[in-house]
Amino acid sequence: MKLHNISFGNIKRRKGKMLFLVLGLIIGISTVVTLLSITESMTVNIEERLNQFGANIVMVPRTQNLSLNYGGIDVGGVNYKVREINQDDLQNIYTIKNRKNLSIIAPKILGPVRVKGQDVLLMGVIFDQELALKTWWHKTEGNFPGQADQVMLGAQVASFLNLAAGDNIHLFETPFTVSTVLKPTGGPEDDAIISELGAAQKLLGKQGRLSMVEISAFCQGCPISELTLQIAEKFPDAKVTAMKQAVMSKMQSIEMFQSFSLGVSIIVILIGALLVLVTMMGSVNERTREIGIFRAIGFRRGHVMQIILLEAMLLGVVGGVLGFGTGNLIAYSIIPMVMKDSVFAGINMNLGIISIIMSVALSLLASLYPAFKASNMDPSEALRAL
Amino acid sequence: MTQVNHLIEIRGLKKTYQSGDTTVDAIRQMDFFIDDEEFITIMGQSGSGKSTLLSIMGALNHPSQGQVLVDSLDLYALSTEQRADFRSEYIGFIFQSFQLIPYLTVLENVMLPMAVTGQKKKIKNQMALDVIDRVGLAAKAHRLPDQLSGGEQERVAIARAIVNKPPIILADEPTGNLDSQTAGEIMQLLQTLNRQGHTVIVVTHNPEVTQYATRTVRVQDGLCFV
Domain membership of residue B1 (yes or no) is: no
Domain membership of residue B3 (yes or no) is: no
- Flag whether residue A386 sits within 8 Å of chain B, measured between CB atoms: yes
pLDDT value at residue A246: 47
- Over residues B140-174, the pLDDT tens digits come to 999 999 999 988 999 999 999 999 999 999 999 88
Domain membership of residue B185 (yes or no) is: yes
Domain containing residue B202: 8-220
Read off the pLDDT of each residue in B11-23 and give the average, rounded to a whole number: 89
Domain membership of residue B201 (yes or no) is: yes
Give residues 283 to 322 of A whose Cβ lies within 8 Å of B.
289-290, 293-303
Domain membership of residue B214 (yes or no) is: yes
The number of folded domains in chain B is 1
pLDDT value at residue A385: 45
Q: Do the Cβ atoms of B84 and A300 come within 8 Å?
A: yes
pLDDT value at residue A222: 56
What chain B residue is nearest to A13 in terms of C-alpha separation?
B103
| Cα(A325)–Cα(A336) distance, integer angstroms | 18
- Over residues B84-124, the pLDDT tens digits come to 999 999 999 998 888 899 989 999 999 999 998 888 889 99
Contact A273, A366 (CB under 8 A): yes
Question: Low-confidence residues of chain A, pLDDT below 50?
Answer: 77-80, 246, 385-386
pLDDT value at residue A372: 93
In chain B, residues with a C-beta closer than 8 Å to the C-beta of A302 are 81
pLDDT value at residue A258: 81
pLDDT value at residue A122: 92
pLDDT value at residue B4: 63
Query: CA geometry: angle at A43 spanning A42 and A49, to 5°?
Result: 90
pTM as predicted:
0.68
pLDDT value at residue A386: 42
ipTM beyond 0.85? yes
In chain B, residues with a C-beta closer than 8 Å to the C-beta of A380 are 55, 60-62
Q: Domain with B150 in it: what CATH number? A: 3.40.50.300
Question: Which of B75, B83, B87 to probe by mutation at the A interface, max A CB count within 10 Å?
Answer: B87
Read off the pLDDT of each residue in B9-38 and give the average, rounded to a whole number: 90
Domain membership of residue B226 (yes or no) is: no
| Cα(A274)–Cα(A24) distance, integer angstroms | 9
Q: What is the mean pLDDT of chain B?
A: 90
Q: Do the Cβ atoms of B84 and A1 come within 8 Å?
A: no
- Flag whether residue A232 sits within 8 Å of chain B, measured between CB atoms: no
- Over residues A95-151, the pLDDT tens digits come to 988 887 788 899 999 988 888 888 899 999 999 999 988 888 998 888 899 888 999
